Chain A
Amino acid sequence: MPDLSAGSQMLILFGVLLVLRVPVAFSLGISAMYAMWHMGFGLDMVGDLIAAGITKFSLLAIPFFILAGMLMGTAGLADRMVRFFRILIGGMPGGMGVVGVVVSLFWGAVSGSGPASVAAIGPMIMRGMVEDGYSRAYAAALVCTGAALSIVIPPSIGLVVYGVIAEVSIGQLFIAAILPGLVMGAMMLATLPFARRGRPDTAGRLARQNADELALTDAPWAAQLWHAFRAAFWGLFTPVVILGGIYVGIFTPTEAAIVAAVYAIILGFAYRSLTLITLIGAVQDAARASAVVMMVVTFASLFGWVVTVDDVVGTYSAALLGFSHAPFLVLMVMALVLLIAGMFMDAITIMFICLPIFLPVVHEMGWDPVWFGIFLSINLAIGLFTPPVGINLFVAANITGMSLERIAGAALPFLLSSVLGIVVIAAWPELTQYLLTWMQ
């Protein structure tokens, strides 16, 4: 391939390795090393780039947010939240669907990762929705979509990585993401009335099991609600701790992540749902999950080095700019690329590959990089529940024993409403600005 630059060869090699199921991180590493060697730079700086790729203070938020999310799940906060919202709004017709969306939004403000959210809140919401007459596939689809919003609603691991790549304040990204996240939630709510719903099964086995599990009693509604509220209070308060701290400027996002992890440990021990053994298990799981993300980040830094040196970026972003002078068209092309890439790859990898090409365009067009980060993360959130490779679908299929295709099919209405949501965010960039302006 004499007429292809080393950078382009690297991209092709990377694609081939991906298709052959070489892990993303290692595909990035080996194709980058090939290009460095090919360009005659040798591999002497590889060790240095690996160590420097990891040791960034902003990225340190990632393991702590993952740990906090896992501990909140282990501590049983999800159950308490579902119980509270079920008593509050679950009684109206189709109410469990609304409960599903609201809990997803709240859980998104606790956890920064989509698939982990499916596992934490999925089973209880799905059982409740089926009791309420929704089909199993529809309930699973709702959870997959709602949990995907975890990577939009702060804290979000995707936004941390975006902040580091685009050199934007992560605190600002977190605050800017709140309103668009709520808009996406509203879009989900708007699809609920169109769902086909059978007769609620209020006396069957499932209803009894749910009532048992959530400790629902025959006590008066207000008394039950008050009891459930007290039980869920510290869990519901978590977003205030994390976002409030960042908002008023007490914490940096990394510090907020550390505080959230400690908060979760204290709650877990206070609720007696955490033991030393489960704590160690959760810490190990969090280290592993964080390492999976960070390995991609590490080897992407080699990849990024080649991309910069070889100016692959210039060529492709010039092509993107040359495609059209209409900003909206360029933006829609980007969205299309992100949605298609999201069908096959995870959000972090896509960011590392696409952002070096997209960011110069964002700059050229004079777009606000904070808004663009939110726009991007919503596009990538959709990738979590689109087949063939949507990680949330995998998790939901594992939990329910249903096929991935059935859940994906049921997710179609949510896909349509999410795309509509993207158009709203694209057309209304000020939405990301209101809270930031109000803050100053």
Chain B
Amino acid sequence: MKHSLEGWICAILFLAMTALGFANVVVRYLTSYSFAATQELLLTGFLLITVFGAALAAREGQHLAVTFFAGLFGTRVERAVTLFAAGVSLVLLLLAAWFTLDLLRGQIATGVTTPGLGLPAWYYSAPLPLAFALIALRTVQGAIADLRAPTPRSPIDA
């Protein structure tokens, strides 16, 4: 069990999604009536557990990568490669944070609403820039931990 911010967000959201999804199946099966809004909430939860779950994975170096070639040329090359990979990941994640912020600003400016519940769309995308910044932070932390105590890791749960 993990006590980080993203750990709690994932646990609570995912359990809530399971409950909501199950309630929807039961209600639909019993009454042939389904709440359309459920789908919207589930997909939003999905988006959030994906980005916050990615932060969990980044801290533990669990993102899928081709580790074979980097390990061929000894420790020094491997350390250089670790730094390079973290640097490139950082650039991408900050770009993703920036452009999801851009999306958020666009949604606020145009006042676009969601089809299911009619809520302002930016409610749903508001956590995205924060989450990508968090993945970036966890990537840096993961790389530092890796450089200090390099352990052979494999993406076990993918």
List the interface of chain A (C-beta within 8 A of B): 17-27, 29-30, 33, 43-44, 46-48, 50-51, 54-57, 59-60, 63-64, 66-67, 113, 115-116, 119, 250-251, 254-255, 258-259, 261-262, 265, 277-278, 280-281, 283-296, 298, 344-346, 349, 388-389, 391, 394-395, 398
> How many contacts between A and B, using CB within 8 angstroms?
219
Contact B14 A287 (CB under 8 A): yes
Contact A292 B99 (CB under 8 A): no
Contact A289 B154 (CB under 8 A): no
A308 to B100, CA, bound (A): 23
Contact B18 A258 (CB under 8 A): yes
Q: Mark B27-52, 1 if CB is under 8 A from A, else 0.
A: 00100000000010011101101111
For B, the interface residue count at a CB cutoff of 8 angstroms equals 61
B120 at the interface (CB under 8 A from A): no
B141 at the interface (CB under 8 A from A): no
Contact A63 B14 (CB under 8 A): yes
12 A-B contact pairs sorted by A residue (CB < 8 Å): A23-B85, A47-B128, A55-B43, A55-B44, A115-B155, A251-B25, A258-B25, A261-B18, A277-B1, A283-B11, A285-B157, A286-B14
Minimum distance in angstroms from B42 CB to a CB of chain A = 6
Contact B70 A20 (CB under 8 A): yes
Q: Mark B131-156, 1 if CB is under 8 A from A, else 0.
A: 00000000000000000000000111
List the interface of chain B (C-beta within 8 A of A): 1-2, 7, 10-11, 14-15, 18, 21-22, 25, 29, 39, 42-44, 46-47, 49-54, 56-57, 60, 62-70, 81-82, 84-85, 88-89, 91-93, 95-96, 99-104, 106, 125, 128, 154-158
Minimum distance in angstroms from B26 CB to a CB of chain A = 9
B50: A residues at CB distance < 8 A: 54, 63, 290-291, 294-295, 298
Contact B10 A23 (CB under 8 A): no
B49: A residues at CB distance < 8 A: 63, 287, 290-291
Contact flag A259-B11 (CB < 8 Å), given A23-B64, A63-B46, A288-B157: no
Minimum distance in angstroms from A110 CB to a CB of chain B = 16
Contact flag A21-B81 (CB < 8 Å), given A30-B91, A67-B18: yes
Q: Which of A60, A113, A277, A288 contacts B46 (CB 8 A)?
A: A60
Contact B53 A57 (CB under 8 A): no
Given contacts A63-B46, A278-B1, 20 further A-B contacts (CB under 8 A): A19-B66, A21-B82, A23-B65, A23-B85, A46-B96, A46-B102, A47-B100, A47-B103, A47-B128, A50-B100, A54-B50, A57-B42, A63-B50, A67-B14, A259-B22, A280-B1, A281-B2, A287-B10, A291-B49, A389-B67
A280 to B18, CA, bound (A): 13
Contact flag A391-B158 (CB < 8 Å), given A29-B92, A47-B99: yes
B158: A residues at CB distance < 8 A: 113, 115, 289, 292-293, 346, 391
Contact B65 A291 (CB under 8 A): no
A116: B residues at CB distance < 8 A: 156-157
B89: A residues at CB distance < 8 A: 22-23, 26
B42: A residues at CB distance < 8 A: 57, 60
Contact flag A255-B85 (CB < 8 Å), given A23-B63, A46-B96, A292-B155: no
